[in-house]
Structure 1
Amino acid sequence: MNDRLAELGSQVGTFQTNKSMMTVDNGQHSMNEFYETIKAIDDDIASIRAACKELDKLASAALFAPLEQDGASAKEAMSALLTKTNRITSHSKTLLNAIRAETTELKRDRKGITDANLRVRVNLERSTLTKFVDAAKEYENKQSRYRLQVKRKAERVIRAVKPLVTEEEMTAVFNHEDGVARVLQAAVLQSRTGIDDVLTEVQDTYKDVRRLEASIMELHRMFMDLALLVEQQGETLDNIELQVIEAGEYIRHGDKNLAVAVDTAKTVRGRQCRIWLAIAAILAAITLIIVIYIEAKPSK
């Protein structure tokens, strides 16, 4: 994970620098750069999936650690992991948008790239985007699940000191920074023991939930942007598919014309054969008549 993050800044800069080199004047170079970019995105996807597994471990440690210190350490590690993984997802989005822009340019100019390579670009770009979206959604789901677990744990803690807390009050805990203090005010006035500890724990939970919500919202905005990208790719694939269909229609039409031509040629050859047979029969008849005439003529 750390190695991948160390490469992100240089990769984005290198891609932007080399983008001017990825021109339609050198199609092979463009494809080589394209494959390198796809490889970088695949590496990011692997890092995101690894982060999902690590999130599961850290979430369990943060929620169920027997020692408070262990739970705090897990939360710190999770916060750092979220920051790093968010940077990785942003890096992949930047690369996907960049190769999409280049594909659009190549599709428009049609210089230095064959139709076959263009189809390869579009198909590989779309499959890579699909893999990235799947990994990012898994990452989002992990955060959403942990967020729900954190909130449920906080609710249990609050109900332990204020059993009659209402749903509105519970909602306020996670919507306002001072929500937990207001909700527990009555318990404080009643001098219930352990209120300070509960207040501190739930306030920390509020920060955790807010951080997770911010990360999830960032992913949601990214998904909205990528949805447009998928739609544009779908249009490109539809255009290519239409061209393939049209080519197929031309081939089928040519096959039909060829079949008609073959049938016509067979018919002509058949007529020619019948004509030659008729001529041969006529010649044979004439020859026979001449022979009979000569044999029947009396000799002198």
Structure 2
Amino acid sequence: MKDRLGALKAVQSEEEHEDVAAAMEASQSQFMEEFFEQVEEIRGSIDLIASNVEEVKKKHSAILSNPVNDPKTKEELDELMAEIKKTANKVRGKLKLIENSIEHDESGGMTSADLRIRKTQQATLSRKFVEVMTDYNKTQTDYRERCKGRIQRQLDIAGKKVGDEDLEEMIESGNPGVFTQGIITDTQQAKQTLADIEARHNDIMRLESSIRELHDMFMDMAMLVESQGEMVDRIEYNVEHAKEFVDRAVADTKKAVQYQSKARRKKIFCLIVAIVLLALLIGGIILYFVMNFAVMPHGLPEVNEGHESSSSVSRNETNDVNSSRHQINKTLNKTPKN
């Protein structure tokens, strides 16, 4: 009874263990499902930033190509920049949460395949995010240089010669009044030139403010990607080599199929040759027996003739003996009896 009770407890304990393992597996599976949903959401946000950056480039070109100030285009540009900033902050926050979760699991000694997948995804998304933000930062810097060049040309038109270093100091001062000193604005053209200079200067000020706002976030993510660079490069290296191995395996498989096909053809050829040789051998044997049996009937008469000759000789000898015996008997009969 005790043994049966112990066995029942062991079975119950094993079932409980299996239930716990199944529950943990289901929980982990659900966690990874939610993680991949989050990854897709982050990837979508990064793609949205990239799309908005392209729109910003178009707005920059439209503003610089327009000889007059266009408030509507600038308003649309400001909205795009605000949207990029908002989305970038959301992406950064989500990537940081994933990073903290990974660090927490690593500190607990976890080394599962799921953890490696999460690290790879986080590193890939971080690199993509930094690439998009680098493009955005370059777009802003290029626009600043183009605005600066536009101010330089307008000052030249107004008759005010300013060197590159002096112009940079005037821009950094943040005071648009420095551009109007010494410029006569008694003509409409002069007033338009001055308005354009002030507009470009304001654009530069907004750009620098935007760049400063994103600088800390950009540097934080750039440092993260740099620290993960070795791991990402190793992943890319393994992926590239895996592709090479797959291609090589496909090529080897094709060669093996070709060799197998050639070997099969050789086997078929050898089999045909063997069948032909066997057929020739059997044909030769059959022909041999046919020829021998065809010759034997012609030899039989000779044998019979010999047999008949022997019989005739025997009969002649018998007759001679009988004749001799008959002569002896006749002689005996003629002799007188005493």
TM-score normalised over the length of structure 1: 0.62
Figure out how many residues of one structure are paired with residues of the other and give that number.
211
1:165 is paired with a residue of what secondary structure?
Answer: coil
Alignment of 1:181-260 (within 5 A): 181-188=177-184, 194-231=189-226, 233=228, 237=231
User: In structure 1, how many angstroms separate the alpha carbons of the residues matched to 2:206 and 2:25?
Assistant: 44
CA distance, structure 2, for counterparts of residue 216 and residue 95 of structure 1: 21
CA distance change for structure 1 residues 229 and 195 in 2, over 3 Å: closer, same or farther?
A: same
| Residues 25, 220 of structure 1: alpha-carbon distance in 2 compared, 3 angstrom cutoff | farther
2:75 aligned partner: 76
Aligned to 1:292: none
SS in 2 for 1:187: coil
* Preserved contact between residue 160 and residue 182 of structure 2 (Cα < 8 Å): no
Cα distance between partner residues in 2 of 1:231 and 1:145: 24
Q: Higher Cα Rg: structure 1 or 2?
A: 2
1:34 alignment partner in structure 2 = 35
Residues of 1 paired with 2:170 and 2:208: CA distance? 14
Contact between 1:162 and 1:184, CA under 8 Å: does it hold in 2? no
Counterparts of 2:90 and 2:201, CA distance in 1: 29
Query: What's the % identity of the aligned pairs?
Result: 27
Secondary structure of the equivalent of 2:174? coil
| 1:99-248 equivalent positions in 2, closer than 5 A | 99-110=98-109, 115-178=112-175, 180-188=176-184, 194-231=189-226, 233=228, 237=231
RCO higher in structure (CA 8 A, sep ≥6) = 1
Stretches of structure 1 that go unaligned for 5 or more consecutive residues are 1-22, 242-300
CA distance in structure 1 between the aligned counterparts of 2:112 and 2:137, rounded to whole angstroms: 37
Give the TM-score of the pair, scaled to structure 2.
0.56
What is the deviation of 1:201?
Answer: 2.3
Deviation >6 Å, runs of 4+: none
Supply the RMSD in Å over aligned alpha carbons.
2.9
CA separation in 1, counterparts of 2:160 and 2:212?
32
Moved more, 52-61 or 157-166: 157-166
1:44 aligns with 2:45: yes
Query: Take 2:128 and 2:162, find their aligned partners in 1: how far apart are those partners?
Result: 44
TM-superposed deviation, 1:182: 2.6
1:88 equivalenced with 2:87 (yes/no):
yes
Give the partner amino acid of 1:223.
F
Give distance in 2, aligned partners of 1:91 and 1:130: 16
- State whether residues 174 and 206 of structure 1, in contact with CA within 8 Å, keep that contact through their aligned partners in structure 2: yes
CA 1:30–1:107 in structure 2 vs 1: closer, same or farther (change >3 Å)? farther
Tell me, in whole angstroms, the C-alpha distance in 1 between the residues paired with 2:39 and 2:162.
52
